[in-house]
Structure 1
Amino acid sequence: MDAAVVEVLQQATSQDPTILKPAEQTLKQWETERGFYTALYNVFSNHSLTINVRWMAIVCFKNGVDKYWRKNAPNAIADDEKEFLRQRLITNFEEPVNQLAVQLAALISKIARYDCPREWRSLIPTLLDVIRGQNPLAQHRALLILHHVVKCLASKRLAADRRLFQELTISVFSFILNVWNTYTESFLIMASNGADTNQIQEALEKALLLLRILRTLIVNGFNKLSESHDAMSFLEIVFERARTCLECRKTLISRGIQMDVCDKFIIHLTKVLLGVLEMHPFCYVELIPTSLEFSVFYCFTETGQALAFEKFVIQCLNLMKGILSSTYYKPAKVLEETKDPLTLRANQLRQEFFTPETLTEICSRLVTHYFLLTPAELELWDTDPESFVVDGGGGESWKYSLRPCTECLFAVILHHFVEVLVPFLVELMQRHHQPIDPNNLHAILVKDAVYNAVGLAAFDLYDEVNFDQWFSTTLKEELKIRSNNYRIIRRRVCWLIGRWTSVKLSTELRPELYKLMVEVLSPEEDLGVRLAASDALKLAIDDFQFNPEEFSPYLEPAFSLLFSLLKEVKECDTKMYVLYVLSFMIERTGSEINPHVGALSSYLPALWQESEEHDMLRCAIISTLVHLEKALGPESVVIEPLVVGAIALSCDVNQNYHVYLLEDGLRLWLALLENALAPTPAIMELAKNLPDVLEKSFEHLKLCLFIVQAYIILSPQEFLSQRGAIIIETLRSLLGDLNSEGAAMAMTVFELCLCASPRQGVELIKPVLITIFENMYKEEEVMMTMTMYLSIVARILWFYKDIFIQVLSELTRKIGGNEAREEVVLGELIRIWVNRMPYISQLKRRKLLALALCSFLGADSPPSVLHYFPLIISNIVGTLNDITKFDDIRCENIGSLSISGQSSPPQYEDEEYGNKHEQRKKRLDFNDPLCGISLKDTLQNQLLTLRRLIGDNQFNQLMSTLYPEIDKELKLYISL
């Protein structure tokens, strides 16, 4: 088989699809054949074959392990073949190609995750034996495999697996630590003695692999770290190793030797500390002073900074941040609630280290050194301003990027030591708040850094800074200084105003803010400053004190300038952001934006075409279209072609795009339907995607059901004829998986079918009725769902009594009864009905239920129903009390109940009342036949008919069962 496998693997590496595709198909067919993985092993173990073929063999083997190595996997690899492969995989550790060695290590770790230690007890001992040996290549490969195996085993989370990993850690940690010390010492000696670079590199690579193994073991392999002498001694030596390696790195660089592996080794030492701090915070307590001294030396002293490099500085700053922000080391203000001695000790050590002098020095260095824009950043601003703005980062960029890291640490330190640092910041601000010489670049950079600090500390400086005065005098004037250097301050002032707007800016000054930002958005201004102004404007509009009327004079120029900015910027991320600001403005100003959106509406189709490869930009476009639809209302017909195209693409679950676009696409779809003047063919054609979306995107069910309802209200006959059956069937199949809210929404759709197109609707929902009756009969549903069940059952009973009887018979058969038991089932339904009905608050539903109850008051009603005569009358009278208004002549007025239980407003036809969807809903409510039926007259007619059919004696006996108060209230409505 080996020769055939080699040939197919060669074909699978081809760039020609006509050769590649059949080869992939053949390999897929062979996946479950006995001996295939042995053949793959033979291929990638054969060093004479080409690297591409061997690589492909390892990839196929790895995929097979994922699919077929588990014992209970379908078509699992045979046990004897697995045993053979396990033995063979650890017989040769001399793979010459480094990339293949990494893939092999990953492959062995995947198997180890399933089989180690129970089925593969020899793996770890074999690796350790090879590491002890004298073969340098085999030693390196064994270390690489052990690293991947340990990492894989550490990721298992079941309690039994964690215990096994802890046992493994205890058995190997001391050995690995000793070997690491040996190779680290070897590297340091060779580096200081000027040894051959290759020898230094080899020793350091092995030391780095051992360090990675130690890190995984110490972070994940100890239940209580402090109980292990080796573990604690390793942590203590980490700091010394880092110091020595930094000195050694400087020596190597002075000799012209730049080793990336040396930087990685130093970084990994700090990762050990960060990992232990996160996973074993209480065991780390006594290391807090050493960690802080270490970090401060290398980040905030001239001597230390001369040895450090940027990635290392980021790690040290994050170590400081981790010690300060750990939830296990509570701040002093909540210590009175804490009894844990280690928490108290941690806080004591922090307080002792962070003296006022140390804090002031750290913050001073953060602001005047780390916050300064670098020459590289200024050059990026000149050559690529959009990248400069976007490079600010977000999310967890503080873990990897220096500027977000320093800003984050500044905020954490300020939060913990606000009493000490606020006076320092105020003094710093007073020193730098006046305008400065535009030609003094250094002074400008320092001022920018100070303003950055004041913006980050806005909430803490609330009581110390008169921002209104500062805004009205200094900041306002600084925006007018046109020097090229001063763009740095103009950008920062815009950012600063944005930060402070929601903190402390009086409403009287907001028009001035809008005016200033509109001026700064001018095309003549620097692009970086304009982008900062757009951000400030967005924050001002986002504030809860925002008044659209105050903003009205600035709406047109702001929108126009932002639109110009949108067209001007090139980067996808920048376009997304400016579009987001525009979208936000449309949302907050509503219909006032309508006269100004024509240009944007015309531009969006072109932008949509340009964004074909940028899913997130398309998300932003769809989000903007949602706000445009809502703002334009019926006038949105001008953007309908683009909207329909966007919905068709984003809501087709058979396209890859839907993963990113579906939720926004559904929101847009709903907005389109709510504003639609008429059911155009394009709008109706979109509905073909609904069944798939309902079935495959369960998390968006609520939005989907709103869309279904909007379609039914827009064009009931056409929609139900084309899509009704499949929509109802899809919902029926989902009912068992829905929670109470989802079930209630599905019932709302069924009820709407009955209201919007009665005869068509009842035929469509017939298959679901037995489920509804059955669920109601079980009486297990929450009130929200039971209300919908009762409403549908009542409507069927009132309008389609023949169907009600059919479903009741089917329910009886399903329960297991016979003809004689049908009345018992009906009686049980009535019991549930009359007991649940008093808890329903919506008046229209109560009226429907009361009318349906009236239909039970006939001579042909079985005894099991008339048994509940007092409760039936009680519910009907209670409903009459709620829906009847009496004037001086006690005249009933119940003619205009809406679906919400409120009176239909006479202006429901008014074009100004809500969107088109709301108007259609009101019209549907108003046309409901229930509105024209008098419950009082129905009850009276039914009781009179009942008395005539059963006779006065039997009727009087029924009436005598009423509660006295109900009897008294009943006589207010009817006369018998």
Structure 2
Amino acid sequence: MEVVSTQAMVIDVLQRASSQNPDILKPAESRLKEWEIQPGFYTVLLNIIASHTTDLNVRWIAVLYFKNGVDKYWRKNATNGISETEKVTLRQNLLNNFREPVNQIALQLAVLVSKVARFDCPRDWPELFPTLLQAIESQDSLVQHRALLTLHHVVKAISSKRLAGDRKLFQEFTASIYTFILYLWNNFTETFIRDIERNATSDVIVVNLEKGLLTLRILRKLTVFGFYKLHQNADCISFLKVIFDRARATLECRKQLRGKGIYVLELCEKFIIHLTKILLNVLDNHPFSYVDFIRPTLEFTIFYIFTPTGAQYIYERFTIQCFNLIKGILLCAEYKPAKIPEMTKEPETLRANHIKIEFFQTSTLTEICRKLVSHYFLLKQEDLELWDSDPETFVNDEVGESWKYSLRPSMETVFVTIFHEFREMLAPVLLEMMQETNAIVGVDDLQGILRKDAVYNAIGLTAFDLYDDVDFDQWLTNTLLQELKIKHNNYRILRRRITWLLGNWAGIKLSLELRPVLYECIINLLSPEEDMAVRLTASSTLRLAVDDFEFNSEQFKPYLDTVFNLLFSLLKEVVECETKMHVLNVMALILERVGQTIRPHTDALIHYLPLLWQESEEHNMLRCAIVSTLVQLVKALGSSSSELNSFLLPIIQLGTDVHQGAIVYLLEDSLELWLTVLENSTTMTNELMQLFNNMPPLLEQSSENLRYCLLITLVHMLLAPELLMKTHGLQVVTLCDSLISDLKTEGILMLTRLLETFIRALPQLGSETIRPILPRIFQLIYKDTDVTPMILSMYLSILARVLLSSHLIFTETISTLSRASQDSEENILGSILDVWLSKMCNVSQVERRKLLGLALANLLTAHSRPVMARFKSVMLNILEALNDSTKIDDNGVAIDSLVIVEGQSPSHFQEDTDSYYETDHDHRKKQLILSDPVHTIVLKDYFQSQMHQLRIQIGQTQYEQLLQMVDTDTLSQINEYYFTL
């Protein structure tokens, strides 16, 4: 097929791929997917992109497919990768597109070139940078702009490479280009500033402003990542010094752009922000190179955000950047000397600290503190309007956004940082402001209310630092409670702030005696008659109060019913998903902290959650919160939660099905819910059994959630051991066999505990079920691989339990290994015994040492030459197991301390008991103990019986010869303490 007809065919398919009709779109996408691995496809795409007369949608989709193709097929080792011959042509043609008229296409082409450059520069594409630099020097404004745009994205891509060799290459490249780019940036900047000053048209200003911004972005990457020690480069230092002047000039110019259109104003603001980004990046990445710029930065930022003259130039994003610069300097670890200055090794650290201390004099700090609280902390008119129109968004915005990008969090974090750094100087200032606003404010004095709200905000933020200075109990009793009683609409501002204040101080300095007062306040503030923002803040305060270390569920019990009902009413009223999640999380925490006490108060929630689940189909994060709440609800309800299974099991099914998209969001919470449901189930049902069909695929692909998967399998198995072993046992064990070699210590321990529990639950069937993995475990023992004592202990325990439950499976496993290794069965068993007998002393748990002692005693009558050849070591290890598991009772009689006696609870022998929360699964674990040979067989009696049986088997003469192999001390201990041999 000719190139022209091929190109026409591709254009036609791309045209259909831009259709909104799925019947047209899907076949086109399938065809493109077939073509993406065909030789020459990307050459055709590039020809289509370069054809400016072709339909814009077609060119757009072509460039996107090309970009995705580079990600998939440009690597040298990629399957179906683009050939080296075609790559050469593509690289050449990519550098012929500097006249692209459409901005969006030009941007995608620049990104496309950067992706190729990240793979091929400089080795396979040495002509890229010379070509770009040549185009940048072009007299054609469009060519120059497109070349700068491309260079920006290329520099951005290769500067992100972090291998030492790549970083060295980037530093060499930076050294060769930096002066030229700095020269260009100065020219473009000076030109657009002159254009603004002489009131040129927006179109004229934009041309040089765009190029100035592009060169600035290139300089940012070069400056931050292109130097090892940037303070050693004169051009770099010159650039950083001029940033402050350029920022001042551009801020001045911004005032003159108000009538020039939104785009040019936004472009100017981006330019200013990028100047501050460079300062922030250098501070973060080269703190010692930034020391000389600490004072200029502080003077610059303080002037604009804390003086009336500077304030007329600022806008929100710039203000945030200024706050972030101050915070970055104060928190920079390299600027903090050791408590003993002589121990500080870096002299620049001491110099930086001296500059900070010298700048932040008491008068400066006082002015900053007062300005922050009395100006920046004040709620603005637009805040109050948002509160009125959308209280949920108002509250969520207050707590949800990052300090890096939102004004209120950024200024609050700066305030906290400064206060913590200079507490001794600032505490008196804030206490004075607290005293100034102490009097009750009139309900109509909105400004007075807002000032008090700002001061209360400051006191809440600095609660940890003001611990010794504020008597919170007295303040709450004498002032705050009185203000909470005032129900005027303006006072909602203070009611919300006091509510928040209570949450901040509750865990810091609120006496236990006043906890009931706190709960009563929260109940009043959660009332449906209260303002919505106040109610939501009260729910946050409740979460903090309940989550506190000193929380007492008995003290909270009288308020439980009312609080839970009020939260439920709030949950039904709120609309935003984020708010519903927040309220659900509070309810889940209460369920967790009060436990089964909540049972009488959950009916309304139980009936509401299915409805909320249906409504949240498009909101996966809300569904996560619902599942998390259900976990705590099931724990609280215990075995009676089985009544909810018709609702719970479909949720678990959805969240754990590897074929459902929801698994990305719901898996972890759904696994926890699944485990909790099983732990609190009394019987196995068909629905629960069907749910287990989801487990094998999860085990196959699970790494992060393997712990939950193995736990669920174990709990499932104990609920119906025979049923699970017969239906899924072989599949689970086969998966375990494939997993074990890739797991780390913790994973292996969990997996082997599951295998051991199979045998403990039903010894004969369990041994049969895990038979496929036994050769691997036996082999790991006799090869004495480099495993931890704990793992070897688990392997030996499995071997011992198989031996005690089924001699046939034990010997067949030895035979399997013999055939596989072409070694005799006796040699295999001998090797296992050598490891067993030499490493048994490293087994730390007494229960496991006794188990191994029982298994060794069992082998005494197995007619085995390897056992008899090691008779001395066998006897010594059995004796040690006897010594470890035997104790002297009150009557002076030696008894087996691990055997359950009449009236003794199995809990005495449980490894993981939880006194707060006992489930049906815990009862099933106790039943395991009641049937475990370790706890039902007296080792001394079994050993004695086996020795008696051995004497009968081999006769008295041979028996005595065997005893002569054992050292005198071992024989005398057995005869003295246990029985006569």
TM-score (norm 1): 0.96
Q: Counterpart in 2 of 1:626? A: 631
Question: Larger deviation: 632-641 or 597-606?
Answer: 632-641
The Cα shift of 1:953 comes to 4.3
The Cα shift of 1:680 comes to 1.4
CA distance in 2, matches of 1:415, 1:364: 15
What is the one-letter code of the residue matched to 2:918? Answer: G
Q: Counterpart in 2 of 1:795? A: 801
Describe how 1:386-535 pairs up with structure 2 within 5 A.
386-394=392-400, 397-535=402-540
Q: Counterpart in 2 of 1:962? A: 966
Q: Counterpart in 2 of 1:873? A: 875
Establish whether residue 227 from structure 1 lines up as the match of residue 229 from structure 2. Answer: no
Structure 1 residues 859 and 413: alpha-carbon distance in aligned structure 2, compared to 1, 3 A threshold: closer
Question: 3-state SS of the aligned residue for 2:678?
Answer: helix
Establish whether residue 56 from structure 1 lines up as the match of residue 69 from structure 2. Answer: no
Describe how 1:313-328 pairs up with structure 2 within 5 A.
313-328=319-334
The Cα shift of 1:904 comes to 5.4
CA distance in 2, matches of 1:934, 1:355: 79
CA distance in 2, matches of 1:798, 1:136: 87
Establish whether residue 294 from structure 1 lines up as the match of residue 297 from structure 2. Answer: no
What is the one-letter code of the residue matched to 1:840? Answer: V
Q: Counterpart in 1 of 2:827? A: 824
CA distance in 1, matches of 2:640, 2:524: 31
The Cα shift of 1:691 comes to 0.5
Out of 301, 312, 315, the residue aligned to residue 306 of structure 1 is 312
Q: In the TM superposition, what whole-angstrom CA distance separates every residue of 1:886-939 from its partner, at most 9, and x where no partner exists?
A: 5548374568449xx98556999xx99931111112123213456443322222
CA distance in 2, matches of 1:332, 1:874: 58
Q: Counterpart in 1 of 2:155? A: 150
Q: In the TM superposition, what whole-angstrom CA distance separates every residue of 1:486-512 from its partner, at most 9, and x where no partner exists?
A: 100000001001100111111111111
Percent identical across equivalent pairs? 51
Q: Counterpart in 1 of 2:3? A: none
Question: Larger deviation: 13-22 or 348-357?
Answer: 13-22
The Cα shift of 1:659 comes to 1.2
Is the contact between residue 904 and residue 926 of structure 1 (CA under 8 Å) also seen in structure 2? no
CA distance in 2, matches of 1:103, 1:903: 69
Q: Counterpart in 2 of 1:192? A: 197
Is the contact between residue 472 and residue 510 of structure 2 (CA under 8 Å) also seen in structure 1? yes
Question: 3-state SS of the aligned residue for 2:403?
Answer: helix
What is the one-letter code of the residue matched to 2:126? Answer: R
Q: In the TM superposition, what whole-angstrom CA distance separates every residue of 1:232-288 from its partner, at most 9, and x where no partner exists?
A: 111111100000111111122277776210111111111111111111111111011
Q: Counterpart in 2 of 1:354? A: 360
Is the contact between residue 372 and residue 449 of structure 1 (CA under 8 Å) also seen in structure 2? yes
The Cα shift of 1:93 comes to 1.2
Structure 1 residues 895 and 389: alpha-carbon distance in aligned structure 2, compared to 1, 3 A threshold: closer
CA distance in 2, matches of 1:607, 1:764: 43
Out of 653, 667, 671, the residue aligned to residue 666 of structure 1 is 671
Question: Larger deviation: 148-157 or 840-849?
Answer: 840-849
Q: In the TM superposition, what whole-angstrom CA distance separates every residue of 1:800-820 from its partner, at most 9, and x where no partner exists?
A: 1122112112223333323xx
CA distance in 2, matches of 1:965, 1:44: 91
Is the contact between residue 767 and residue 805 of structure 2 (CA under 8 Å) also seen in structure 1? no
CA distance in 1, matches of 2:356, 2:898: 74
Q: Counterpart in 2 of 1:694? A: 699
CA distance in 1, matches of 2:524, 2:257: 54
Describe how 1:181-260 pairs up with structure 2 within 5 A.
181-253=186-258, 259-260=265-266
Is the contact between residue 371 and residue 449 of structure 1 (CA under 8 Å) also seen in structure 2? yes
Structure 1 residues 332 and 254: alpha-carbon distance in aligned structure 2, compared to 1, 3 A threshold: farther
CA distance in 2, matches of 1:557, 1:133: 75
CA distance in 2, matches of 1:774, 1:295: 69
Structure 1 residues 446 and 197: alpha-carbon distance in aligned structure 2, compared to 1, 3 A threshold: same
Structure 1 residues 973 and 103: alpha-carbon distance in aligned structure 2, compared to 1, 3 A threshold: same
What is the one-letter code of the residue matched to 2:649? Answer: V
CA distance in 1, matches of 2:938, 2:324: 74
CA distance in 2, matches of 1:68, 1:771: 40
Describe how 1:758-773 pairs up with structure 2 within 5 A.
758-773=763-778
Structure 1 residues 255 and 739: alpha-carbon distance in aligned structure 2, compared to 1, 3 A threshold: closer
- Structure 1 alignment gaps of length 5 or more: none
What is the one-letter code of the residue matched to 2:238? Answer: S
Q: In the TM superposition, what whole-angstrom CA distance separates every residue of 1:597-645 from its partner, at most 9, and x where no partner exists?
A: 1110111000111111111111111111111111110121232222112
Is the contact between residue 725 and residue 764 of structure 1 (CA under 8 Å) also seen in structure 2? yes
Is the contact between residue 690 and residue 704 of structure 1 (CA under 8 Å) also seen in structure 2? yes
CA distance in 1, matches of 2:154, 2:940: 80
Question: Larger deviation: 206-215 or 158-167?
Answer: 158-167
Out of 4, 27, 35, the residue aligned to residue 22 of structure 1 is 27
Q: In the TM superposition, what whole-angstrom CA distance separates every residue of 1:349-392 from its partner, at most 9, and x where no partner exists?
A: 11111111111111111111111111111100000000000002
Is the contact between residue 899 and residue 937 of structure 2 (CA under 8 Å) also seen in structure 1? no
Structure 1 residues 271 and 929: alpha-carbon distance in aligned structure 2, compared to 1, 3 A threshold: closer
Is the contact between residue 844 and residue 897 of structure 1 (CA under 8 Å) also seen in structure 2? no
The Cα shift of 1:416 comes to 1.1
Establish whether residue 815 from structure 1 lines up as the match of residue 782 from structure 2. Answer: no
CA distance in 2, matches of 1:968, 1:502: 64
CA distance in 2, matches of 1:30, 1:782: 53
Question: 3-state SS of the aligned residue for 2:258?
Answer: helix
CA distance in 2, matches of 1:254, 1:114: 45
RMSD, matched Cα: 2.1
CA distance in 2, matches of 1:280, 1:882: 61
Question: 3-state SS of the aligned residue for 1:436?
Answer: coil
Establish whether residue 269 from structure 1 lines up as the match of residue 269 from structure 2. Answer: no
- Structure 2 alignment gaps of length 5 or more: 1-5
The Cα shift of 1:797 comes to 1.5
Question: Larger deviation: 28-37 or 913-922?
Answer: 913-922
Is the contact between residue 870 and residue 963 of structure 1 (CA under 8 Å) also seen in structure 2? yes
Establish whether residue 919 from structure 1 lines up as the match of residue 923 from structure 2. Answer: yes
Q: Counterpart in 1 of 2:942? A: 938
CA distance in 2, matches of 1:932, 1:118: 73
Is the contact between residue 896 and residue 904 of structure 1 (CA under 8 Å) also seen in structure 2? no
Q: Counterpart in 1 of 2:760? A: 755
The Cα shift of 1:748 comes to 1.6
CA distance in 2, matches of 1:339, 1:935: 64
Is the contact between residue 906 and residue 930 of structure 2 (CA under 8 Å) also seen in structure 1? no
What is the one-letter code of the residue matched to 1:64? Answer: G
CA distance in 1, matches of 2:896, 2:773: 36
CA distance in 1, matches of 2:870, 2:909: 39
CA distance in 2, matches of 1:598, 1:517: 22
Establish whether residue 851 from structure 1 lines up as the match of residue 854 from structure 2. Answer: yes
Establish whether residue 132 from structure 1 lines up as the match of residue 143 from structure 2. Answer: no
What is the one-letter code of the residue matched to 1:829? Answer: I
Question: 3-state SS of the aligned residue for 1:252?
Answer: coil
CA distance in 1, matches of 2:598, 2:808: 55
What is the one-letter code of the residue matched to 1:316? Answer: C
CA distance in 2, matches of 1:963, 1:490: 84
Question: 3-state SS of the aligned residue for 2:161?
Answer: coil
CA distance in 1, matches of 2:869, 2:411: 78
The Cα shift of 1:594 comes to 0.5
TM-score (norm 2): 0.96
Q: In the TM superposition, what whole-angstrom CA distance separates every residue of 1:551-601 from its partner, at most 9, and x where no partner exists?
A: 111111011101111111110000000111111011101111100011101
What is the one-letter code of the residue matched to 2:464? Answer: F
Establish whether residue 685 from structure 1 lines up as the match of residue 690 from structure 2. Answer: yes
Question: 3-state SS of the aligned residue for 1:259?
Answer: helix
Is the contact between residue 764 and residue 805 of structure 2 (CA under 8 Å) also seen in structure 1? no
CA distance in 2, matches of 1:121, 1:847: 72
Is the contact between residue 857 and residue 942 of structure 2 (CA under 8 Å) also seen in structure 1? yes
Structure 1 residues 579 and 92: alpha-carbon distance in aligned structure 2, compared to 1, 3 A threshold: closer
Structure 1 residues 973 and 226: alpha-carbon distance in aligned structure 2, compared to 1, 3 A threshold: same
The Cα shift of 1:6 comes to 1.0
Q: Counterpart in 2 of 1:719? A: 724
What is the one-letter code of the residue matched to 1:705? Answer: L
The Cα shift of 1:687 comes to 0.4
CA distance in 1, matches of 2:942, 2:806: 17
Question: 3-state SS of the aligned residue for 1:486?
Answer: helix
CA distance in 2, matches of 1:751, 1:115: 54
